[in-house]
Chains A and B, each alone.
Chain A
Amino acid sequence: MAVNQLELVFPFDQGFSELLASFKNNFSVNFQAETVNYRVFYDTFDWLLYNNGSALEAHEEGPSRRIYWRADKDGDLKIQLGLRQVPQLASDLAECEFRRQLKSVISVRELLPRIKIKIKRLPLVVLDKNKKVVVRLSFDEHWYFPSKTRAGVVLGKRITIKPVKGYEDEHNQVVEFFRSLQLHEARDNMQKLALAESGISTTEYTTKLNLLLEAEIPAEQALKQVLLRLLDIMQQNSAGSIRGRDTEFMHDYRVSIRKTRSALTQINKVLPRDIISKYNKFFSGLGKLTNPVRDLDVFQIKLESYQRGLSKTAQERLQPLRDYLAQSRAEAQKEFVNTLKSAEYRQRIKEWREYLENPEPTDPPLEDTRKEIYKLADELIWNMYQLALEEGSAITDDTEAEALHELRKTCKKLRYLMEFFQSLYPANKISELIQALKGLQDNLGEYNDLYVHGGILEIFIKQSSDTDAKKACKQMIKLIERRQTKTRRRFAERFASFSSAGIQQEFKDLFVESQKERL
């Protein structure tokens, strides 16, 4: 219903009573019962909508719930959607323009209620001589409660004038009355005001480590900072991973675990051996629990593109596979959730944080405990790069897939080390080398995904009794194998670029020569 309602700003520090009395002298009005309404802004965990200038909000007025959408800051005024509920994911919606716009901003991320504004509303209506409602007004106080423990704050006061269709003259008279009082038209800035009160930063969340390590600090101090930041990311993503619909939470959670394990095993002469052994085992167990969930998530995301290569009939026959994937994912997720909700898990995480936050140096120190971090970083990165070169150079067209898998792991270790210690090096130089490495990693990652996905299909074929679905899956395996061959063919070119004389020299300049210069 295209209602061009007018919203006016009422002075923050004044009450409505005087104005209401004056209004009543000029119009025949009927006061209605005061109501409490809510305006809930939905966004992703990392504020993708807000940062894009988009807004998705639900207006809750008694039993009524209306949902509005603004595509971006340059977009039209917000439009009302014909939805009853805010979707959790863009993929929950049927194909439509809103789904397309939403997906382009939030991708696979989950929508959560992020800002809730309480509106104390005094509604009234203007009546004509037949007692028919001809204009609707409301006098509103917008409240925001930053948390359960903090007192609420008034964000602003507003007077809203809503026309009733077919009664434009009466509406104009009411607008004229308020205009004569010099009240200004309001901008829709309640979400912004609430965010300012909340202290939330909409740009704060990132999975980047963003550490500023000092080059000369002892390795132990630096490593603890890295591990602590990884623990923060892990904990920021654990609630979302438990909910399980937004696959990015699990992805970020899992990557922070892998990085933690990589730090513990690669930088292994800094922390006491018993600590390394205890937590490596703990995080390894957690990582294994995330494997099937993530593999199935990635497979389900890629399934759309895989099945495009099949005939329409074959695609339709894949329903048993989709059911199998959903069920397998649910089972794997259940096991993961049980662990994360366990007292043992919580205790371990608590102890890990306490350990990392304890500034006491390890005594007696290990070989690298007190080494200046830049020296250790140089050594570790250079050695890992050498290993990657060695493993990569040994790969020919006939080499077993296992060797590519090993190289993929080595590249990951190298990437993590470079990210941990990124702040010790000139930003442009290390970023360039990370980019060179990323090109190779993308190729190896794609090859590995295809291998894993072929495996998932093989398992399904073994378990399923549905002949049609099995046949369609066998066709899909053939398509996957073809893609694997293509990916494999591209490997040589990617590796050649990564191991070029130029890149090798840049690695050397950054991780070997620069140390000499410092000395």
Chain B
Amino acid sequence: MKVIAIYNIKGGVGKTATAVNLSYLASLDGANTLIWDLDPQGAASYYFRIKAKVKGGAQKLVEGKQGLEDAIKGTDYENLDLLPADFSYRDMDFYVELTKKPEMHLNKLLKPLSGEYDYVFLDCPPSISTASESVFDAADVLLVPTIPTTLSLRTYKQIKKFFKQEHYDSMKILPFFAMVDMRKQMHRLIVEYPPSFMPGVLDSYIPYASEVERMGINRAPLGHFSAHSRAAICYKSMWDEIKSHLYPTA
């Protein structure tokens, strides 16, 4: 089972759209896929027409009183399940802190699912906290959507710095450019000449596109209602690139 976290300290950078579209593409490959909507806003749950509600909330999930399995719902797509968001996830940190090894707790919670799923996508909330550290530990890959602007690059540097300080494996970090508008000179420059502190940036990038916004109207992944749109094609090529990172010899 590969755990792929979509993370950024910043909000509004396309994390949920990425998690929804990539998990959908993984399921199309025939891989058993789970997306965990960790963001109390519940946008990923909304996209999949599933109520952002978990019985017992964050406390029961984190304490392990209720296995993750019981809270999982099937989406409209075969091979793709969702662990919904819950408003109580805003207190996730508090409950994680109370566990024995907070930084490793998410890994412990996910372990029982390893026989069932090939991929788990974590749609993370925009923050940096103990719960995020648990994500850093559990993830095989940390996808960091980054808008090609000065402020976004600065945030990316902060993440890298934090990884270094706390001795997390920075090789896990896979940044990519999101919401790219090539009409803007700064976007074009940064995408074409990525800064030296982003050596592993993915070749694929996601354009700024109205199609992505329409996901909210259709409540479906791009590939389902607009498979041939430019953004859908970009997500597809990004997914292929991520797989080549996960399975270098495949």
Contacts and interface: CB of A to CB of B under 8 A. Distances in A.
Nearest to B113: A1
A165 B49 contact: no
Nearest to A167: B74
Nearest to A130: B49
Nearest to B1: A82
Contact of A66 (B30, B81, B116, B117): B30
B29 interface: yes
Contacts of B74: 133, 163-167
Interface residues of A, number: 23
A125 interface: yes
A84 interface: yes
A136 B78 CA distance: 9
Interface in A64-87: 64-66, 80, 82, 84
Contact of A131 (B49, B50, B72, B79): B49
Contacts of A136: 78
A65 B72 contact: no
A1 B49 contact: no
B76 A125 contact: yes
A132 B79 CA distance: 16
Given A1-B81, A132-B49, A136-B78, A65 B73 contact: no
A133 B76 contact: yes
Contact of B28 (A63, A80, A165, A167): A63
A147 B81 CA distance: 40
A2 interface: yes
Contacts of A162: 78
A163 B50 CA distance: 16
B79 to A, nearest CB: 7
Interface in B200-235: none
A64 B79 contact: yes
Given A64-B29, A65-B30, A82-B118, A132 B250 contact: no
Given A64-B28, A64-B30, A165 B116 contact: no
B66 interface: no
Contacts of B59: none
A335 interface: no
B234 to A, nearest CB: 18
Contact of A166 (B29, B30, B49, B73): B73
Q: Which of A82, A130, A136 has the most C-beta atoms of chain B within 10 angstroms of its own C-beta?
A: A82
Contacts of B32: 1, 80
A61 interface: yes
Nearest to A1: B32
Interface in A39-75: 61-66
Contact of B116 (A2, A64, A163): A2
Contacts of A1: 32, 79, 81, 116-117
Chain B interface, >50% SS class: loop
Contacts of A125: 76
A166 B72 contact: yes
Interface string B103-139: 0000000000000111000000000000000000000
B116 to A, nearest CB: 6
Contact of B73 (A63, A64, A82, A167): A167
Contacts, number: 46
B66 to A, nearest CB: 13
A57 to B, nearest CB: 13
Interface in B74-88: 74-76, 78-79, 81
Nearest to A128: B49
A86 to B, nearest CB: 13
A89 B171 CA distance: 33
Interface string A125-159: 10000111100100000000000000000000000
Contacts of B78: 64, 136, 162
A64 B33 CA distance: 13
A63 B29 contact: yes
B36 to A, nearest CB: 14
Nearest to A61: B30
Contacts of B30: 61, 63-66, 84
Contacts of B29: 63-64, 84
B26 to A, nearest CB: 10
Nearest to A125: B76
A164 B73 CA distance: 7
A165 B77 CA distance: 11
A361 B32 CA distance: 67
Q: Which of B74, B81, B117 has the most C-beta atoms of chain A within 10 angstroms of its own C-beta?
A: B74
A61 B76 CA distance: 17
Interface in A1-42: 1-2
B44 to A, nearest CB: 15
A231 B210 CA distance: 68
B29 to A, nearest CB: 6
A165 B84 CA distance: 12
Nearest to A123: B78
Interface in B43-88: 49-50, 72-76, 78-79, 81
Contacts of A130: 49
Contacts of B79: 1, 64
Contacts of A61: 30
A132 B73 CA distance: 11
A165 B81 contact: yes
Contacts of A84: 29-30, 250
A136 to B, nearest CB: 7
A2 B74 CA distance: 12
Contacts of B81: 1, 165
B73 A165 contact: yes
Q: Which of B28, B50, B78 has the most C-beta atoms of chain A within 10 angstroms of its own C-beta?
A: B78
Interface string B155-189: 00000000000000000000000000000000000
A167 B81 CA distance: 12
Contacts of A2: 116
Contacts of A163: 74
24 contacts: A1-B32, A1-B79, A1-B117, A62-B28, A63-B29, A63-B30, A64-B28, A64-B78, A65-B30, A80-B32, A84-B250, A125-B76, A130-B49, A131-B49, A132-B49, A132-B50, A132-B76, A133-B75, A133-B76, A162-B78, A164-B73, A165-B73, A166-B72, A167-B73
Interface of A: 1-2, 61-66, 80, 82, 84, 125, 130-133, 136, 162-167
Given A63-B28, A82-B118, 18 more contacts: A1-B81, A61-B30, A62-B28, A63-B29, A64-B29, A64-B79, A84-B29, A84-B30, A130-B49, A132-B50, A133-B74, A136-B78, A164-B73, A165-B73, A165-B74, A165-B81, A166-B73, A167-B73
- Nearest 5 A/B pairs, CB to CB: A64-B30, A164-B74, A166-B73, A165-B74, A133-B76
Interface of B: 28-30, 32, 49-50, 72-76, 78-79, 81, 116-118, 250
